[in-house]
Amino acid sequence: MKKGLRTILVFLISAIAITVLWVVNSFLKEHKFIFYATGIEDKAFLNATWEMSEAEIERANSTELEQAKYDFFALPDTQYPKVLKMSRYKSRIQNDITIWGHEARVECAFFDDKLFEYTLFLDGFDADELHQQILKSISLKYGNGRTQNSGTYLQNMYWDTDLVHICYWLIEQEPTKQFSSKSFLAGVRFGYKPMFRKIEKISEEEHLSLF
């Protein structure tokens, strides 16, 4: 009788332990803690690093990312590497932040829930001031940029290093309810080149194995 009770007790303890481990593991996996964390050492923005997951960025920057209103990865003319399941891409937005003294938002691009690109969008009323602030901040870290054919842009520049490709543009905005007077919009896009190469390799391997 005692042996039977001991067996039942051992079984119950084992079942509880397995359940607890499963719950803990599911929590760690969902929120990308410890060995499920994907971020690497290379800094992206604020406290976030490249290849961080959405959950990791939210923790690192004490924010909540919102789903983008549009899915630009699904557009036919998207410049991102084509993979068989384009749903592996996703875009998230951080609003209500101030960068270089200007209202801004950050649009983060993920592949397999790993950050590989982000774009800063900044609004301002003085084009020269906005340009000088952005140019000074980027040049201090990445050196002198190169000017591209401006076209309809007031400014259009890029920087290229071993790790990141940076594009910067500045345009005049049409008057809106929010900005009735003349205003300007600047965009600064940072792309993590090692991650782009990984995605390109995945795309090539997928298409080579189609037939």
Which stretches does DSSP call E strand in 3-113? 43-45, 48-49, 66-67, 89-99, 102-111
Q: Is 109 helix (H, G, I), strand (E, B) or coil?
A: strand
**Residues 6+ positions from 109 with CB-CB distance below 8 Å:** 73, 89, 90, 91, 115, 116, 117, 118, 119
User: How confident is the model over 45-82, as pLDDT tens digits?
Assistant: 999 999 999 999 999 999 999 998 877 777 777 889 99
Kindly report which listed range (1-5, 52-56, 185-189) carries the lowest average pLDDT score.
Answer: 1-5
The pTM assigned to this predicted structure is 0.84
Between strands 102-111 and 155-160, the pairing is: unpaired
Number of domains in the chain: 2
Tell me which of 131 and 179 has the higher pLDDT: 131
> Within this chain, do residues 13 and 102 fall inside the same structural domain, yes or no?
no
pLDDT at 158 over 90: yes
**Averaged pLDDT for residues 183-196:** 95
Backbone region of residue 100 per phi and psi (left: phi > 0; alpha: psi in -120 to 50; beta: other values): left
pLDDT at 36 over 80: no
pLDDT value for 178:
61
pLDDT confidence bin for 39, thresholds 50/70/90: low
> Within this chain, do residues 167 and 96 fall inside the same structural domain, yes or no?
yes
pLDDT confidence bin for 179, thresholds 50/70/90: low
> Within this chain, do residues 18 and 117 fall inside the same structural domain, yes or no?
no
> Within this chain, do residues 26 and 44 fall inside the same structural domain, yes or no?
no
> Within this chain, do residues 157 and 80 fall inside the same structural domain, yes or no?
yes
pLDDT value for 30:
56
> Within this chain, do residues 26 and 73 fall inside the same structural domain, yes or no?
no
Mean pLDDT of the chain: 85
pLDDT at 33 over 70: no
How far, CA to CA in Å, does 19 sit from each of 9, 24, 31, 68, 155? 15, 9, 18, 36, 58
The residue segments making up the domain with residue 23 are 1-31
> Within this chain, do residues 84 and 54 fall inside the same structural domain, yes or no?
yes
pLDDT value for 17:
63
